[in-house]
Amino acid sequence: MNKLSNEEQTLYQLLNLIEEGYLTVVNHQGEEFRFGKEGSSPNLRLIVRNSETYRHILAFASLGFGESYMYGWWDEENGNLAELAGILLSNGVYTKARGQFSLVLKIIFQRLLTLPNLVANSVKNVQHHYDLGNDFYRLFLDKSLTYSCGYQLQDTDTLEEMQTQKYELICKKLSLKPGDNMIDVGCGWGGMLIYAAEKYGVYGTGITLSQEQANLAIERIDKRGLADRLKIVVSDYREVEGQYDKFVSIGMFEHVGKGNFSVFMKKVSELLKPDGIGLLHTIGTVGLGGRDPWIEKYIFPGGYLPKLHDLTQEMYNANLLVAHCENLKPHYAKTLNLWSKNFRHNKEKIMALSDKYDLQFIRTWDLYLQVCEATFLNGNSQLYQILFCKRRQWQFETPLNFKIDKPSTKIWESH
């Protein structure tokens, strides 16, 4: 056996923490090392092609882990990145490794936590992710073009069914009724507004910072004959004016930034009428830190995952009363699993769209989707839906009952 570098030996010491699952590492010299419980599941095989992998991971932790995969330095033999990340998370390997951050990375990470999300930065950050092209997102999202956690009622639910069920659940929670005027901050391609207008007869305004999203949302609204009920505005939430009966924000708060939590909640309070009702749907965390350096650099610049008490405290400060909170953590793991399958199935079609969707881009997004799935299955990621109302007066029926019937997905088929 060849002499191992200090970095390789250190990584193997971390992998010795594995008790559940079985991992074989084939190093760059073809030597095999085994960790975990033989015969247990999952049984994975990690192939290391470049000796720089060990040093890069030890020096930069999750940033190094992600970059070395992007560069093609390592692979799981069958592409099971979610299961690989799951083993590292569930056995405490990731936590232990994170505790061994280099001083340089700790300084970088602390700087990320204190950077403000100014309006100009927010526009640039959103465009980095959401202006990749509508055709790209069509190849792994469902027909409704919904890029947020779905809601699963049955094990056999399709992605489209899960997203339609999510919209129905939110409509029930908001007690939508014909004529309600609703604002959707972070409206994406307009799925929530379209569903609420067609199913519940609401009027709505969608806010997005992505011009590509806005263009397609307006096109979809026009084709459905809803232009007299719905409008899309390209704007930062801080610049929005007016008052509304209902407020909703789905999968946008993650981009607000820690320093703007109070600004966001105060704006929500301003936008709601005195008897208004709102719902915030956001990823959260129960772990240390709300940013991952690799995600920050390559996927979501400016993102920050809140803790639940951060949200409820800022709501209280903004004179918003929390009425109900639900954690849809397992539903997001399933959603990500389906996105990931679609992405891998269509990777050749994605690469054919443009030269910018090269092999490194494909590896980056494959890792992103699968690792996120693992963090909802085995890690600290949570998905909160928080229902609230303006001021301290109770605005809801008692008892709260959000059981929904399975809605039809035909709403997305005719357009």
Q: Which residues participate in catalysis according to the annotation?
A: 372
Task: Kindly tell me the burial class for residue 307, based on how many C-beta atoms sit within 10 Å of its own C-beta (0-12, 13-18, 19 or more).
Answer: middle
Could you tell me which of 104, 85, 102 has the C-alpha nearest to residue 93? 85
Residues contacting residue 352 through CB under 8 Å, at least 6 positions apart: none
Could you tell me which of 401, 395, 116 has the C-alpha nearest to residue 259? 116
Could you tell me which of 66, 127, 82 has the C-alpha nearest to residue 300? 127
Buried b (16+ CB within 10 A) or exposed e, 160-191: bbbbbbbbbbbbbbbebeeebbbbbbbbbbbb
Q: Cα separation of 188 and 238, whole Å?
A: 17
Task: Kindly tell me the burial class for residue 120, based on how many C-beta atoms sit within 10 Å of its own C-beta (0-12, 13-18, 19 or more).
Answer: exposed
- Other C-beta atoms lying within 10 Å of the C-beta of residue 259: 14
Amino acid, single-letter form, for residue 60 = F
Q: Cα separation of 56 and 49, whole Å?
A: 13
Buried b (16+ CB within 10 A) or exposed e, 192-201: bbbbbbebbe
